Amino acid sequence: MFVATLVASGALSQDNIAEAAGRLATAGCTPVDSKWLDEGKAADIFFGLDRIAARAALTGIGDRVDVIVQPVGGREKKLLIADMDSTMITVECIDELADYAGIKAQIAEITERAMRGELDFAGALHERVALLKGLADAAIDQCRAERVKIMPGARALVRTMKARGARTLLVSGGFTRFTGPVAEEIGFDAAVANVLEIADGALLGTVTVPIVDAARKRAELEAAIEGGIDRALTLAVGDGANDIPMIQGAGLGVAYHAKPKTREAAAAEIVHGDLSVLLYAQGIASAEWVGI
């Protein structure tokens, strides 16, 4: 049995649900039942066949409605592994840090190309960090305080999953000076990121190696699975090309307001809503959320 979870950024109507059930029937997916998770906001439709056909059939349903299709069994996850920049927070930290050096546009262009998968991630990271050489160490804390905003739904997602027994891990190609405070504020169990090298109160233009790249993100997922968490019970979410391996390796891999290559690679995506969509996807109604 499969479930299609519909989550509206605005209002979800009974007509939307009926249309979705009709599309599933036309696609041969055999809808059998539906129920509200939060009336007017989110609903589940249960069906018997063909997850891939169902996802295609439900594309474009309603006005600003996200749809997550997955097996019913194991939909509530025991591991969340998440990217940070433009996923758990609203900005790309290196771009904002570059603004304090007066070179935001230059670095942001490299970041965008790297996240789209047009540049080698490691090379792009070293190139951008080198451009920050000489920036005052104090600019990092100033940037974090002034620019970093938590993504809507992040606290509820992480804290609710933790309260229900899941492990939560923040894995970023960014920097520990940002991920540490962000992970603590949101409520993650642990965080992994790159370390900026600093001396005499200024950035040296380098990071410690090996860096946290796409392979390392996937490795963190695999380590958790080897530690005893069933792959089917894992959830990975990110927006960039360097998130693709961990998204593809998870039981439910989600592209969040993502770059085209990431969207194409993911089995599910969030286009309209915030991170709370991932709670509805697990069958958890808002009355059960923690930390909001």
CA distance 251 to 18: 28
Cis peptide before 210 (omega within 30 of 0): yes
- Residue 84's contacts (CB-CB under 8 Å, 6 or more residues apart) are 93, 170, 171, 172, 174, 178, 179, 182, 193
Q: Which residues are part of the catalytic machinery?
A: 83, 85
CA distance 170 to 78: 14
User: Do 17 and 23 meet the contact criterion of CB atoms below 8 Å apart?
Assistant: no
Q: Which among 23, 20, 17 is positioned nearest to 35, based on CA atoms?
A: 17
Cα of first residue to Cα of last residue in the chain, in angstroms, is 32
* Ordered strands of the 31-38 beta sheet: 31-38, 42-47, 2-8, 65-71
